[in-house]
Amino acid sequence: MKVDNLTFKGGVHMHGYKELSNQRPITKAKDPSMVYIPLHQHIGAPCECIVAVGDEVKVGQKIGEAKAFVCAPVHSSVSGTVKEITRKLTPTGMMAETVVIENDGLDTLAYESQGKTLENSEPKEIISMVKEAGITGLGGASFPTHVKLSVPEDKKIDFVIINGAECEPYLTADQLSMETMPEKLLLGLALEMKAVNAPKGYVAVETNKPKAIEILRKEAEKHANIEVVSVKAKYPQGDEKRIIDAVVGRQVPSGGLPMDVGCVVSNVSSAIAIYNAVYENKPLYERIVTMTGHGIKEPQNLLVKNGTPLTELIEQAGGFVGNPGKVIMGGPMMGMAQTTLETAAIKGLGGLLILTEEEACTGDTTDCIKCGKCVSVCPVNLEPISIHKLALKERFEEAGSIYHALDCVECGSCSFICPAKRPLVESIRLAKREIRSLKQKS
């Protein structure tokens, strides 16, 4: 296999624990008897509810309409009856208007293919289909994809990069998708390239997924303008700006966007969802979720319907091993710890990680020993310890103006490496929030 081993400066090497689930095939999760679908699952404005209690709905039927540009519609994942419209907590910790639907088990579809393909669809049509399908960034950010593809006229896009790094430990949904759906993934990428008029596409995969690289390279032989490159297995290789740097050697400026350097970066599952939207007219109402960690009995990759209760997913993965120490939506580095399991799957749920009590106990925080490790691993060249000290003294303005706290991508590498177990990323996150609020006031 040709090894490019492209990378960036900084970052950390860690045990990936991918072996817990990366040999387990994607299996369809059991159909839930009731789904709880929030109408706000993305960055931007919430959707407006367009169904009422008692309505009959079908699989893929729109139940939440996007009234704002930065918003993505929401669709039913089952066929059945709307039982309740209420406010419920989502795994992101946010309260959202939620449509509760009783599943009739018939799986009656609300959509069928319109015969659209890469060849017969126009750029504006692709963007419109992406919007109608409710596609968002499925790597965790949940930014509406049609907004990302709506490039202003004064910007030129040279490259679309599929982020196949999946550098967060434990998560394997992207790896399985790359290995089993290479055709859909590359057609999804080609559709994105057409939408933004980009002449070249890349799929960047970490070297620890040789099977995915091999399969994708074979598939890429059908596409003259798509190249599959291997990037070094290092965290946070999958950060948008780091992957651009590694693959095309361009640096997104502080406060800038990938499109400022001619790039659009897309997640693996999002590109496959784009294929589904165009070729099958299928909205985004299900996704692959990695159920993993030493705190769950049977780690695996499940195809999960939006709105499925988390408790049902845990049950299907064999239940907890003893008492769980921590349940995290996503990976251990950038994921969100759950305070309750009374929530349901959303578009942004790519994994559910269950740590044991022993793993969740990180040990006591001690004084900084000035080892400088946090500085050497920071992929953005920040001084995490300096920002941390200023944040503790509530000197947020200086943390921003002198130490550029807002450039932190919250990757957590500094906290991970710190021998004194200082809560660096937590304090930097706080500093960023305070700096933004100070800016709004001034």
Which residues lie below 8 Å from residue 231, measured CB to CB, with a gap of 6+?
A: 4, 5, 6, 7, 165, 204, 205, 206, 207, 237, 243, 246, 247
Chosen residue from 138, 428, 430, 431 binding ligand SF4 by CB under 6 A: 428
Chosen residue from 14, 50, 110, 420 binding ligand SF4 by CB under 6 A: 420
Point out which residues pair with 13 in neighbouring strands: none
Task: Please tell me whether residue 335 binds ligand SF4 under the rule CB under 6 A.
Answer: no
**Interactions with ligand SF4, residue window 371-410 (CB under 6 A):** 371-374, 377-380, 382, 384-385, 408-410
Beta carbons within 10 angstroms of residue 248's beta carbon: 18
Which residues lie below 8 Å from residue 306, measured CB to CB, with a gap of 6+?
A: 35, 37, 41, 74, 75, 77, 284, 285, 286, 287, 344, 345, 346, 347
Nearer to ligand SF4, 247 or 399 (CB): 399
Nearer to ligand SF4, 235 or 279 (CB): 235
Q: Minimum distance from CB of 361 to ligand SF4 (Å)?
A: 19
Q: Minimum distance from CB of 383 to ligand SF4 (Å)?
A: 8
Q: Are 271 and 284 in contact (CB under 8 A)?
A: no
User: What's the sign of the alpha-carbon dihedral 386, 387, 388, 392?
Assistant: positive
Nearest to 173 by CA among 336, 308, 351, 30: 351
Q: Minimum distance from CB of 440 to ligand SF4 (Å)?
A: 22
Chosen residue from 411, 430, 431, 435 binding ligand SF4 by CB under 6 A: 411
Q: Minimum distance from CB of 163 to ligand SF4 (Å)?
A: 17
Task: Please tell me whether residue 422 binds ligand SF4 under the rule CB under 6 A.
Answer: yes
Nearer to ligand SF4, 3 or 371 (CB): 371
Of the candidate spans 184-192, 240-248, 350-358, 413-421, the one that interacts with ligand SF4 by CB under 6 A turns out to be: 413-421
Q: Minimum distance from CB of 276 to ligand SF4 (Å)?
A: 33
Of the candidate spans 97-105, 119-127, 166-174, 362-370, the one that interacts with ligand SF4 by CB under 6 A turns out to be: 362-370
Point out which residues pair with 263 in neighbouring strands: 159
Nearer to ligand SF4, 161 or 333 (CB): 333
Q: Are 377 and 12 in contact (CB under 8 A)?
A: yes
Nearer to ligand SF4, 233 or 411 (CB): 411
Q: Minimum distance from CB of 255 to ligand SF4 (Å)?
A: 14
Q: Are 382 and 407 in contact (CB under 8 A)?
A: yes
Nearer to ligand SF4, 157 or 382 (CB): 382
Nearest to 383 by CA among 417, 408, 411: 408
Q: Are 283 and 62 in contact (CB under 8 A)?
A: yes
Q: Minimum distance from CB of 370 to ligand SF4 (Å)?
A: 5
Nearest to 396 by CA among 439, 346, 358, 360: 439
Residues belonging to the chain: 442
Nearer to ligand SF4, 165 or 417 (CB): 417
How does DSSP assign 238-306, residue by residue?
TSHHHHHHHHH---PPTT--GGGGTEEEEEHHHHHHHHHHHHS---S-EEEEEEESTTBSS-EEEEEET
Q: Minimum distance from CB of 336 to ligand SF4 (Å)?
A: 15
Task: Please tell me whether residue 419 binds ligand SF4 under the rule CB under 6 A.
Answer: yes
Q: Minimum distance from CB of 25 to ligand SF4 (Å)?
A: 34
Nearer to ligand SF4, 140 or 412 (CB): 412
Pairing of strands 324-329, 300-305: unpaired
Q: Which residues contact ligand SF4 (rule: CB under 6 A)?
A: 368-374, 377-380, 382, 384-385, 408-414, 417-420, 422, 424-425, 428
